[in-house]
Amino acid sequence: MSNLFGVQGTDSAHKTSSAEAAFELGMAYSSGSGGVPLDLVQAHRWLNVAALCGYRPALAWRAEIAAEMEGKDIVEAQRLARSTIVQIERKAA
């Protein structure tokens, strides 16, 4: 996913920064902080994006949040994460 978040090539510092940003957004949604509402679907979505970008701390937090969610909400969060990644990659191409 070298084009994720508009990052070209294999610049791992930029890729890590983008994954960390997705992680921070997920964490904000998980607690309703940073000006965003508490929303576990959105939290799972952004933690999933961070995890797919290789940000390993997101894996544990995503699992913790998933334990508090209903199955249908997890499915929706996964759908949103896939859609987000596709949109970002298209924009970066």
pLDDT of residue 7: 43
pLDDT of residue 78: 98
Say whether pLDDT at 67 is over 90: yes
pLDDT of residue 17: 73
**Integer Cα distance of 16 and 5 in angstroms:** 10
pTM of the shown model: 0.82
Cβ-contact 56, 38 below 8 angstroms: no
Q: What is the mean pLDDT of residues 6-28?
A: 71
pLDDT of residue 15: 56
Residue spans per domain, the chain? 4-92
Say whether pLDDT at 21 is over 70: yes
Say whether pLDDT at 90 is over 60: yes
